[in-house]
Amino acid sequence: MRKNLLLAATAAFLMLFSATSLAQPPQGPPQGRPQGAPQQQGVRTPPSRLGGTQQPNGQEAPRMTAEMTEFYDPVPPTVTPGSFDAKNQNWGAPSDAIILFDGTNLDEWESVRGGEAQWTVANGVLTVNKRAGDIRTKREFGDFQMHFEWCVPEGIQGSGQSRGNSGLKIGGYEIQVLDGYDNPTYVNGMVGSVYKQTIPLVNPSRPNGEWQYYDLIFTAPTFNKLGQYKTKPRITLIYNGVVVLNDVEIIGTTSYIGIPPVDQNSTYKLLLQAHGDPSEPISFRNIWIREL
């Protein structure tokens, strides 16, 4: 009997203890109340600055209005977008762009071998001269938006990397330009790739003989005191209106052989590649850039 009483008393104590424990508030300060601030009985603490008007001391806090989060300064500069050129089926440069090629001359370009750029300008179009080698801009650029159009000749011969190969090199970083229409090659070297690094998301190539376009957004890297990347370069590429590289990190210069080394520059001449394969040269037009 005494033993039963003892068991019943123990059970009752345990039930009472567990009920009391469950009734305890959760650990840590309640949300919306600063740690250490006194909690007043019966005062509801607002969940956020926007969510309530009553302060822990019971006084009214200033009420947020829509106007408090509407700013009028600084005003972004006005830019007039390019107008549509119906004849060439393309859009002109915006008013704040630097025109790198408008169809008439190569004043903004030079040969990487020294001297003037020796590529062919005719009928508003710039065509690669493979014997003359690569050309590059005279100016250097850091963060930028760039647009250019290019066309692989209709009926071009060759295959893989030897068919319509060119490229935009931002210093040592090559964004591949290549015939991508029914022309298999290693996918991290296909059109729209960061050469030997990043495969494009999709392949929106048009057939030979049709004009295509690239719109790029490039963010230059930053470096630490040892000359290593603090932040790597980044690229977004829109090809024929389709995103193929979405804010992709570039891990180093795009070498043909080997691991990508660090390029310690943060501004670059922009280079158009004269690839050494025997296929017919491709053409460019409507090249412009905006510094960001």
Binding-site ranges for Mg ion (CB under 5 A): 165, 167, 273
Pick the closer one to Mg ion by CB: 183 or 273: 273
Pick the closer one to Mg ion by CB: 144 or 173: 173
* H-type alpha helices, the chain: 2-22
CB of 166 to Mg ion, least distance (A): 6
Collect all residues with Cβ–Cβ distance below 8 Å to 30 and sequence separation of at least 6.
39, 45
**Main-chain phi, psi angles of 37, to 5 degrees:** -75, 140
CB of 167 to Mg ion, least distance (A): 3
Distances (CA, A) of 212 to 92, 153, 197: 14, 12, 23
- Residue 271, CA atoms < 13 Å, CB-side half-sphere: 18
- Listed residue (213, 214, 219) closest to 235, CA to CA: 219
CB of 138 to Mg ion, least distance (A): 22
CB of 77 to Mg ion, least distance (A): 35
**Residue 122 has which token pair?**
């005719």
Pick the closer one to Mg ion by CB: 147 or 169: 169
Distances (CA, A) of 101 to 13, 107, 126, 271: 89, 8, 8, 13
CB of 178 to Mg ion, least distance (A): 6
CB of 168 to Mg ion, least distance (A): 9
Which residue's Cβ has the minimum distance to Mg ion?
Answer: 167
Pick the closer one to Mg ion by CB: 165 or 219: 165
Pick the closer one to Mg ion by CB: 190 or 220: 190
Run of H or E including 149: strand 144-151
Pick the closer one to Mg ion by CB: 163 or 290: 163
